[in-house]
Amino acid sequence: MDRPHILLVEDEIHLARGICFNLEQEDYRVSHVESGEEALERLAYDRFALIILDVMLPGMDGFELCSKVREADTRVPVLMLTARSEEGDRITGLASGADDYLTKPFSLSEFLLRVKGMLRRSSWYLPEPIEEGYRFGENEVFLLSYRARTAQGEIDLTDLEVRMLMLLFQREGEAVSRSELLERVWGYANDVETRTLDNFIVRFRKYFEQEPGNPVYFQTVRGVGYRFSRR
């Protein structure tokens, strides 16, 4: 399995070097950037198992960065580093979507334990490292590489599409309720417009069904949710 790739957003160079060194000693892969703007650039084309970000950054601060990260990805774990221990900061941090926070100065062992715990908790939603595609009809879906082969050609899948497909595949043949899909795919976000879910299904039918208006694989279970079936 690949080493977990961590993104560190920290402008204090000495601290950043120390953190990178210690994470690499633990066999994690680390990318370091010094600002929120650079972090967003990296996040546009790279996926990370964990994001560690400092609250006090030049330009965009850690809270703003965290909210932007959450807009794009509800599930990537975020550990926030704060120099201040005020309750207000902790609450702002958690409200902006951080999963956990650590007050500077922190001990190395506590930091590493926190990182390890967050990676373990988040790993349940990562796809199994199986190269083989998931086949149904004329389709083959590769959850690890975010690709699918369909009757219309090859397509790229988004992170949310992959999460949703993974859940439906795991529960093949069973009705999965709307609330479970919303919770497991979109995270705790309770303000997700529920039409979003239906739009995803509409998209899957366009990708994978011979007749999107008469679906075989992505079935509606009236009053409950959706069911994936290889028929």
- Using CB under 5 A as the binding criterion, the count of chain residues that bind Ca ion stands at 3
How far apart are CB 19 and Ca ion at their closest, in Å?
12
User: Per-residue x/- mask for Ca ion, residues 56 to 85, rule CB under 5 A?
Assistant: x-----------------------------
How far apart are CB 5 and Ca ion at their closest, in Å?
22
Residue with token string 């609250």: 55
Asked if 11 is part of the footprint of Ca ion (rule: CB under 5 A), the reply reads yes
How many helices and strands, by DSSP H and E, does the chain display? 8, 12
Nearer to Ca ion, 15 or 175 (CB): 15
How far apart are CB 106 and Ca ion at their closest, in Å?
14
Q: For residue 214, what is the DSSP state?
A: S
Q: Are 49 and 5 in contact (CB under 8 A)?
A: yes
Nearer to Ca ion, 57 or 176 (CB): 57
Residue nearest to Ca ion (CB): 56
How far apart are CB 54 and Ca ion at their closest, in Å?
4
Q: Are 60 and 69 in contact (CB under 8 A)?
A: no
First and final CA of the chain: distance in angstroms?
32
Beta-bridged to residue 150, according to DSSP, are: 153
Asked if 89 is part of the footprint of Ca ion (rule: CB under 5 A), the reply reads no
Instruction: Return left, alpha or beta for 67; rule: phi > 0 is left, psi -120 to 50 is alpha, else beta.
Output: alpha
Nearer to Ca ion, 100 or 183 (CB): 100
Phi, psi (rounded to 5 degrees) for 121: -65, -30
Nearer to Ca ion, 98 or 165 (CB): 98
How far apart are CB 73 and Ca ion at their closest, in Å?
23
Question: What part of residues 30-59 is at the interface with Ca ion (CB under 5 A)?
Answer: 54, 56
Distance CA 60, CA 48 (A): 20
Asked if 102 is part of the footprint of Ca ion (rule: CB under 5 A), the reply reads no
The secondary element (H helix, E strand) that includes residue 44 is helix 36-45
How far apart are CB 153 and Ca ion at their closest, in Å?
46
Q: Are 57 and 13 in contact (CB under 8 A)?
A: no
Chain residues binding Ca ion by CB under 5 A are 11, 54, 56
